[in-house]
Structure formats: C-alpha cells, structure tokens
Structure 1
C-alpha cells in the first residue's frame, strides 16, 4: 500500500477528470443544437423547452435507482453502462424522424447520465483518501468546467452546418469516454485509495437513513441544492434576460458575464481543493456559501453592468469552493461505495436546477428580477446556516460514525 504525498492523487481521479472533460465538451457541443433540431419538427416553444428539460427531469428521477445499481454492481460497471446509454440514445436522437421519438431518446439519455454521474462521483470519493478528497473533487469539477467552456462555441458552429451533426459528435465523444473508463479504470488497484489509518473500504455502503442523521450530510445537501439552483439553473435561464431587459445590454454581455464566472471558477478550483483539505470542510463551506450569497445579493441592488460582472466573478470563486467542500463531506460520511448517499447528494443539485428557474421566473413575472435574485440568495444563505451548524472540528478526520 502506497501512502499519497501532499500533492499526489490516485490515478483514477485524473482518469475521471479526463472523462468529465470529454463528457462536458460533448454536452456543450450538442446544447446549442437541441432547440434548432426540435424546431425542425415544427413544434412550438413550449415543446422545445420540454426537449431541453426532459433530459434533466429523467436524470433527476432515475438518480436514486442509479445509486442502487452502484451498490449492487460497482462504480466502474455502472459508469461505463451509463456512458454507453447516453452515447446510443444521443446518436439515435440525431437520426430521429419525429419529435416524440426525439423526446423519448432525450429522456432515456437522462437516465444514462444519472448512472454515469452517480457512479463517477461515488468512485471518486471511494478512491480519494480523506486528506485528498477536496482536491479530488476540485480536479473532477475542473474537467467539467473546461469542457463546458470549450463545447458551446464549437457546437454553435457545427449546428449551422447541420443540427444533426452535434448529436453524432457527442455520441462519439461519449464512446471515447467509455473506452477510457474500460481501459484505465477496470484494473485500477484499490489498495492505494486509502492510507493505512483511513476507513476500511471493504465495508458496505453507509445506509441513507444514517447519513441523513448527520449534520455534515444535511449541510452538503443544502449547499448542493443552492449550487444547482443558481449555477445550473438561474444563471443560465434568468441572467441573459436580466442583462438584456434590465441592464439594456446585448446578449453578448450576458455571454461575457457567464464566461467571467466560468473562468473565475476554473481559477478558483486550482486552490479550493487544497483549502478544503488543509483549512477544513467547515470554514471552506462557510466561505463559499458566504461569497455565493453575497454575489447574488449584489444583483438585488440597482442594475449596473459593473456590479453584474463583479457578481459573476465572485460567484465563480464561490462555486469553486462549493464544488469541493460538500462533495468532500459526502466522501467523509460514506467512504466506501457511495451509492444512494451520493445519488441523493446529486439529486439535490438537480432539484435546484429544475425548481430554481421555475420559481425565479415566476417571481420575475409577478414582481421583479430583484425579487427573483433575493429568493436565490436566500437559498444560498440556507447553505450558510447549515454550515454554521457544523461542529467546529469538522475537518478531514470526519468519517462515518464520527461526529
């Protein structure tokens, strides 16, 4: 058994980060093509929205079953199967001859995405020892961020050539990611995953009911709900409209703001993992939640382009901490095969991504953008309150059964 040095990470973490980059790159490429492809069937705007949300909805409702599959068959098998499901359904979606078929394939792809995400995060937290879990989560998230930045630009250009082309390319990327998983994760030894003093990885998964009794797990769930609500929901649905309608700027300014936030998050991820592992879970979660809450509250103030760009940058830094600290807490609680504990954690972010845009959009219609951003800040503040409730000694030594 090899002990890991301060800057060292298990090989599987780097492999998973590469897979995350490939998956996010492909998803970014296909995202701009989905509305155009759906419109080609002659459907209305509501149906187009359904084509976008079907993937996320079925990803959410199937995540718990994905966790059960992980506990039964193991992370590597479920991860590879999930990538294969998304690859096949995406390729077939590009060949769809009717909107109902296209919609059904998008929904089935959401099921495969849930399998992949839950299995990959469970494996990541499984192989990373407590002293390295923050850095492992940061590297994994960094793969998604870099792929997400590069993908949409290429996707828009490809969709101009043919709205079907991005689907085939995404399917190919997923097959490459699946091949990487089979070749580079299949024979990885588990002996290097934990130092001698760490928990026994041969033990079974932690029961969900036991995890739900933990203040650390509840804090991780609430924080992840806020991340999904703002980062994956409100930021993409409401911010572009806010820039055009409230700030009176072009949509290019919205893109600039989102890019500033993504770059700030990518830069923050270079250090956030070390903060989570060295400084501790509780202070890192407190800082991330406080920065996130404050950044969204800036948008409650009178509209100004400078304040908007500052808000996006600060939220990006906060998101780098919120990508590492909650995941590390989940790994501390369930260091063996995560399964349903990891699935519910992922479902919290997906729930926020589904409900956030709906609630914020409704508040914008009946009140104002400022009220919508105030509600979003309140959701993030709930994560701050949950972090304050954690014991002050919550740190890298936190493991299942120790509070």
Structure 2
C-alpha cells in the first residue's frame, strides 16, 4: 500500500472523530523550530581551544565533528534537508566568525555574524541568539552576579553587545530574534548569603536592558535552572527569580524542561505562564535523572509539551531545541530531535482537543480516559509519512541512508 493510500485511510479514521488531517498538516508547516547550532561541534564555538566550563559537558568522541564555520554550516544544511518545513537556527555568541582579528566577547559586533546572516538569508531561515556566559576565563567563578565589578561589567557589556547583534539579525532577516540569557552562576555548597548574588544579577540585567533597542525585533528571554555541575547547592538564576524579573520587566520567561526537579512538568507550566505572559519561550531537551541534554525523543514528556503548545496557541510559543550528544552521529542527533518534536506537534494537532476538553468540562472522566488511551494507537505515523512526502523529505527511517552517505563522503574525511 502506498503512502498516499495509507494516508487516505488515516484521514477517514480521524475524520470520524472530528479531526481534519489536512488542516493539521497545514498548521504544522507554519510552526518553526529553532535548531541549535551547538549540537554540530559539541558547544565548542570558534573562539579558540573549545574547552568547556560553567557546568557544560559533552560526552563521547564520535568522528566528524565540525571544526570551522564552513563545516558547521554544511552540516546544518544536511540536517535541515532531512526535516520537513522551514525552521530557524539558534546561535551562541561564541560562534562569532572573526575575519579581521579576534575580539573578546564584550566587543562583539554585528560584523562578526554577517556570514551567519548571509547563510540564513539565502535559505529563508530566522536566527535566534544567546549570550555565552560560560567557557571563558572571566566566567571561572561567576558572570553577571560576580563580586568583582570589573568582571561583572565585562559580562554586562557582553549582554548589551548581544542585544545589538540580535537587532541586526531581526532587521536583516525581517524576523524577530529571541535573545536568551542563561548564566551558570552559583555555589557548590550551601551559601551564607542568597540575596546578594541575586541583587547583583538583577542590577546587571537592568543595565543590559537599559540600552535602546526595538522590543518588537528583539525578544529577550531569561532562563532558569535548578542546579548545575559545580553549583549543586545554589543557582543564582532560579525559576522564581527569573519568572518575577520577566513579569516585572515585560520579558519572556524561558522554560527548559531539563532545568527543573525530575517530578516537575514543563507541560503543566506552559498554560499557567500563558495566563500572565503574551508569549513563552521553550528549550525542549531530554534529561536523564538530571539536566543531561539528551536527544529529544518522541516520548511522553515531549508529547505532553506539544499538547500544551497546540492547545494554548502555538503562535504564543517560541520553540527551540537544546541538546548535545558527542557519542553518536551529530547530524543524526539533530534530525532525530527535530523530527521528533514535529511528530509530537502533529500528534497534538491530530487530537480532538475540543471534544476532550468538553468531556473534562462535563466531568465525563471515564470516557475521557478511555478516549485518550484509544487515541494513542491512531495512525499518526501514516499522516507523518505523508507530510514528509509532501515536503519532499525522506519518510520513515529512509532519511538515515542520507546520513550514512554524508558520513562516508564528508564526515569520515575530517
């Protein structure tokens, strides 16, 4: 049976429960996912030796890592050629490209990212951006919360530079740029003063945001974390700190589903946040017991996050992925994660969400449970394969042959 025939059968099955599969696919085509550049080179960037610090670690040494901008861009091209739809690229500041000599992070300018803008413009991609507050000598103890005013000023200036660069991205590409601020500051053991570092962080953020920038072009987000390597007992940028700071200053609060206690659900947080914020930003990852940034799977947590994105208005969610795995083919990791996020969104679009909500509203909870369980075996895969065929990318596992060929012809020769 052909892909089209299987899809036609699936379409009729979904039609009986009030779901329009054609409409679902049209919506899916409009949802961009920001693909993180740092999966391609293990978060190394282009500044120098690529040594990681600030709680950032990659494990594994799979051959073929991108070593320069040209290789990384080629790898991004290959990955996106295997993912349906038009998406975005998420950059960190340490991926600046220095053609006229190196400058430190507090001196970064738009010109250091002009090749990325050219790359994105030629492909119709948007760009998002992240200041890089780790893997730097001046971040060995703390960054925006540092007791050392010289170090803190350095990082404040880095934040200001990143906002200017983001506005350049947005202007050149005619697409708003999400700037996400995350810092690894904290303490390994129990602190004596929890307030002072947060007071300094608040002041640093106030100074960064004091510069004149177009808030319609630059969407600033702040990202919390429960703990990190070397800061197990206290993280300056906690969820409570950033959620309140974002609310007071009309910023985005970014939720990374690896940055909470294992029993917390980011899916549950999304609708609560959207009651009080116009938009919410997400980093979707997969944590294994802690924030270990594994490749996103088509698992229950990802499905639940996707359900809340769809049910509460996907246009109100800025969606990005965040993981890095050096133990497997890096392009495969990108493609698996991107396609799984799209599968989860499609799964959510193919649910009779209004009917399910009505059953809950009427307290018909027995039927609600029954229907939710039966829907798990509906043929979402047949719709997904048709969606891939319509978007001229390989369906099922066929895409992996392209990755094997690229590894043999390109990656193995690095």
Highest RCO, 1 vs 2 (Cα 8 Å, sep ≥ 6): 1
| Larger-gyration structure (1/2) | 2
Per the shorter chain, which TM-score range? under 0.3
